[in-house]
Amino acid sequence: MAARSAFPVFSARGRHSRSRCRSRSRHHSHKRTLMDSSILVVDDESTLRLTTKARLQAKGFDVDVAEDGEIALEKLRGKTFDIVLLDINMPRLNGLQTLEAIVREYPATDVVMLTSFADFSLAIECLKKGAKDYLVKPIDAQELVTRLTSLLRAQISERSLATYKEFWRSTILFDVFSHLNSINTILEYTKKSFGELKRSDDEKLVTTAQELTEGVINILKGSVQIGELAEGTLLTQQNDTMLNTLVQTAVERFRPVAARQHLTLDFRSASDVPMVKCDMDRINQVVRCVLEIGTWQSWNKATAQVTVDGRTSGLSGQAGSWVGVRVEYPGDSVLTDEVKKVVNASEAEWKALKDQVSIGAFNLSIAKRVVEAHGGEFRIEADGKRTVVQFTLPAA
C-alpha cells in the first residue's frame, strides 16, 4: 500500500511552543473605553491617596488605593489593574522593589512612578526598570489625567491590535487551511471520477479549481509563520454537544471519499455517551482530519473502526467523566515518520524539522492543539498491526 504524496506542503520555520494552545470565546466583549480602565494608587501618604482617588473617580475612572507595596501586590493578585500610580519612597517594599515585582508578575499593567524629588537619574532608573512614566509631587490634576489618558489609549490600541492578530491567526490556522485541505481532497477524487468516466472537459474544470485552491494556500503560506501559528490563540464558541452524533454525521459524509480508496468506515457508539461542551465547528474539523488519514493511501478492502464512548478516565489516566473518540486503521503505514515528528514534536524537534512538511501531517498537529484547547487529550500510535488515533474531551 503506497502512501499518497499529493498534499501541498507548509513551511515549518518559526518559533514553536509545546504549551497548550489557549482558547478564547469567539464572542468578544463590548469595545473597551477609557472609562473601563482601572487604576491603583499606591502611596503611604493618606491625604495624597484619597485626593488622587477622588480626582480620578470624578473623571470616571475605577480607582483603588494601597498604602504600601506589599498591599499593592496583594490587590494585584486579586484584580487586574491597567495602571499603577506608585510612590517611590514607602515603608516595607519601596517603590523600586514594587516596580520590579509588577513588571515581572503583571507585564500587562503599566506603572507611573510618583516622587517628591525632581531627580533625573532616579527617573532614568525607574524607566530602565520598566516604568512607563514619572511624575513629581505635588501632582497637577490636569497633567495626571492627560498622562494617564495617553497611556490608556496606547494600551487600548495595542490590545485591539493583539485581538485582531489573534482572530486572524486563529481563522487562518484552524479554519482556512483545514477547509482548503478538505476541498482539495474532494477535488482530487472528483477529478479521478471524471477521468474514469472519460469526461475530459469536466476533469479540466476540476483541475482548474484545484489549482486555484492551491494558489490560495500558497498566498496564505506567504502571509503567516506556520510555527508561530501553532502556539496561537484558538477562538471558540462552546456549546453542549452530543459528540457521538457529530462523529456519526462526519463519518456518513466521509464514506464516499473513503470508499474510493477501498476503505469501509464502521461506526459504533455506546448508548450512554454524555454530552461535552465544545466548539462544534472546531471539533468537527478534528474528526474530519482524523478521517482524512484514511485517504492518504489506497487500501485492499480494509475497514476502519470508528468508536465513541463514555469513559471514567482520560488518555493519561486522569479520573473523571470523559467522552472518547477512537479510530482504528489496519496496519501501521498511516503513522509515518513525518506524522510522528510533527504531531509529537518538542520545541527543539520542531526547529529541527525540514523546511517543508505535508499539509496532512500539519493538520494532525493542529487537530491535537484544538483538542488540548478544549481541555482534552489527543494521541496517535501504532503497534505494527494497527494504527489508533483517539482523543478525549471532558464531559459537560
Q: Is 144 contained in some domain?
A: no
Stronger pLDDT, 190 or 155, i.e. the higher one: 155
Query: Which distant-in-sequence residues (6+ apart) come within 8 Å of 125 by Cβ?
Result: 96
Domain that holds residue 275: 9-21+225-394
Most trustworthy range by pLDDT among 33-37, 41-45, 343-347 = 41-45
Whole-structure pTM over 0.75, yes or no?
Answer: no
Q: Is 334 contained in some domain?
A: yes
* Cβ–Cβ < 8 Å for 237, 27: yes
Question: What local confidence, expressed as pLDDT, does residue 32 receive?
Answer: 55
Helix (H) or strand (E) holding 111, with range, is strand 110-115
Residues 222-278 have pLDDT tens digits of: 555 555 544 555 666 888 999 999 999 999 988 888 888 889 999 999 989 999 999
Mean per-residue pLDDT over the chain, rounded = 79
Q: Quick one: pLDDT band at residue 112, thresholds 50, 70, 90?
A: very high
Q: What is the CATH number of the domain that holds 127?
A: 3.40.50.2300
Question: What local confidence, expressed as pLDDT, does residue 13 receive?
Answer: 33
Most trustworthy range by pLDDT among 24-38, 145-159, 237-251, 323-337 = 237-251
Q: Is 271 contained in some domain?
A: yes
**Stretch 202-218: mean pLDDT:** 75
Let me know whether 15 and 91 are in one domain. no
Question: What local confidence, expressed as pLDDT, does residue 310 receive?
Answer: 96
Let me know whether 388 and 310 are in one domain. yes
Question: What local confidence, expressed as pLDDT, does residue 384 receive?
Answer: 80
Q: Quick one: pLDDT band at residue 89, thresholds 50, 70, 90?
A: confident
Let me know whether 287 and 389 are in one domain. yes
Q: How many CB atoms lie within 10 A of CB 81?
A: 23
Q: Is 386 contained in some domain?
A: yes
**Stretch 130-145: mean pLDDT:** 89
Q: Is 96 contained in some domain?
A: yes
Let me know whether 122 and 254 are in one domain. no
Stronger pLDDT, 87 or 210, i.e. the higher one: 87
The C-alpha atoms of residue 58 and residue 180 are separated, in whole angstroms, by: 54
